[in-house]
Amino acid sequence: MKKRTPLRLDIKVLTALLVIFCCIKAAFAAYTDVYMKTPDYAFARIMEAASRGDVDTVSDAADEKAIIGQLFDSLINRKDSSAATLPLVKLSWEPLKQEAIENGQILITGQIAADTASPVYSNAKTTIDRRLKALGFPVPSAGWHYISASWGRQTEPGHAEITAVFYNDALKSSVPCTFTLERKASREWNITGITNAVTLLTAVETAYQKELAVQNEPIQKQIDDTILIRDVSSRLIHTAEGGQTFLRITYTPELKAKRENITEIKGQYELRRTSDKAVLYTAPIRLSLSSAKQTHVSQFLLNPFIPSQYTLIKRSDLDGTKSTLHITSVLQTDGTSWILSDTLSPSDTAQP
């Protein structure tokens, strides 16, 4: 009978196993003592909670009211620049702000909990969409999905920023959003707001206009083959008598089609601030067909009782602004009409 040889572990093998064990222990310690205390870990947990429908965890760790409030304030400032400087104007928007916060929280809760079929959610979404359209910002309020996030950056002790990317179904585009986080305990970070709501709104509007241009492309081609607008400019006219202020617009239309085939051409004038693309003034214009290729002038009397127009009245010039005149519709003598849509089609925005 063959004698058994006792199993002997080589000292090198034991040493290697010990090193591996120590590395695993050190890695676990680093994970619990370092990574789990970072804003990155906290943000990832919040996004994971949202993906599994944990409304309570998200609500406890993210200040939804502050975020919605920031977005509303920036949206109002884009619509009415006087809201940032005139307390009474700002106060007049307060009821709508509270309404936006309440409905925004309903939308966030409904989308996290996958409860978008309830009447409460539908009413909140309808109200928000209607308000956004009235403010000249008809972007989709739903259909947003979290994609990824960059590494966090500490801005000061106990404060950090993380940029996340969200995809929207209707826009068919991804938009970055930078969140602010604040340390609440040794291992807890909460989302307290966003760094620059204006930048976010501009990015969303850019994506919206891009998708809208794709939708309007066939009609836009027909319009471009009919008329071209050149040399659009604007200036303020302050009259000494009566103290009135006019916004005077000059432009040159160039008809490419036969004039006798055109019944009516309408356009939309916009004056935007170049820094954030906020609309300072907008008005419809019906173009005259009597003198194509000649400079046309349109003039609008500014109303001092409208805060946004009062802000323009107080200016001495229009430096830092850009004027555009877009053709929105063409009606031909045979009844054919080409009309650009100013909102995405319902089929594109119906997704929750």
Instruction: Please give the full DSSP string across 158-207, using - where no structure is assigned.
Output: TEEEEEEEEEETTTTEEEEEEEEEEEEETTEEEEEEES-HHHHHHHHHHH
CA 98 to chain CA centroid, nearest Å: 19
pTM of the model: 0.79
Between 150 and 17, the more confident residue is 150
Q: Where is 52: in which H helix or E strand? A: none
> Where does the pLDDT of residue 350 fall: very low under 50, low under 70, confident under 90, or very high at 90 and above?
very low
> Where does the pLDDT of residue 298 fall: very low under 50, low under 70, confident under 90, or very high at 90 and above?
very high
Q: What pLDDT, on a 0 to 100 scale, did the predictor assign at position 78?
A: 74
> Where does the pLDDT of residue 75 fall: very low under 50, low under 70, confident under 90, or very high at 90 and above?
confident
- Residue environment code for 181-204, b if the CB has 16+ CB neighbours within 10 A, otherwise e: bebeeeeebbbebbeebbebbbbb
Q: Where is 343: in which H helix or E strand? A: none
Q: What pLDDT, on a 0 to 100 scale, did the predictor assign at position 23?
A: 61
State the CB neighbour count (10 A cutoff) for residue 42. Answer: 23
Round to whole Å and give the CA distance between 337 and 347.
Answer: 23
Mean residue pLDDT across the chain: 85
Q: Where is 136: in which H helix or E strand? A: none
Q: What pLDDT, on a 0 to 100 scale, did the predictor assign at position 118?
A: 92
Mean pLDDT across 310-326: 91
CA distances from 113 to 278, 336, 346 (A): 34, 47, 24
> Where does the pLDDT of residue 341 fall: very low under 50, low under 70, confident under 90, or very high at 90 and above?
very high
Q: What pLDDT, on a 0 to 100 scale, did the predictor assign at position 293?
A: 73
Q: What pLDDT, on a 0 to 100 scale, did the predictor assign at position 259?
A: 83
Q: pLDDT over 70 for what percent of the chain? A: 83
Round to whole Å and give the CA distance between 288 and 331.
Answer: 13
Q: What pLDDT, on a 0 to 100 scale, did the predictor assign at position 352?
A: 46
Mean pLDDT across 149-168: 92
Q: What pLDDT, on a 0 to 100 scale, did the predictor assign at position 343?
A: 86
User: Which tokens sit at 1?
Assistant: 């009978």
> Where does the pLDDT of residue 133 fall: very low under 50, low under 70, confident under 90, or very high at 90 and above?
confident
Q: What pLDDT, on a 0 to 100 scale, did the predictor assign at position 5?
A: 54
> Where does the pLDDT of residue 86 fall: very low under 50, low under 70, confident under 90, or very high at 90 and above?
low
Query: Which CATH architecture fits 225-341?
Result: Sandwich (2.60)
Domain locations in the chain?
33-208, 225-341
Q: Where is 221: in which H helix or E strand? A: helix 197-224
Mean pLDDT across 160-188: 91
Task: Tell me if 329 sits within 8 A of 337, measured CB to CB.
Answer: yes
What are residue 194's DSSP bridge partners? 179
Q: What pLDDT, on a 0 to 100 scale, did the predictor assign at position 84?
A: 54
Mean pLDDT across 256-260: 84
Per-residue pLDDT at 39 exceeds 60: yes
Provide DSSP, 25-49: HHHHHHHHHTGGGSHHHHHHHHHHH
Mean pLDDT across 114-143: 89
- Burial grade of 312 (CB within 10 A; 0-12, 13-18, 19 or more): buried
Mean pLDDT across 239-267: 89
Round to whole Å and give the CA distance between 123 and 107.
Answer: 10
Q: Edge-to-edge strands of the sheet including 227-238?
A: 227-238, 245-255, 296-301
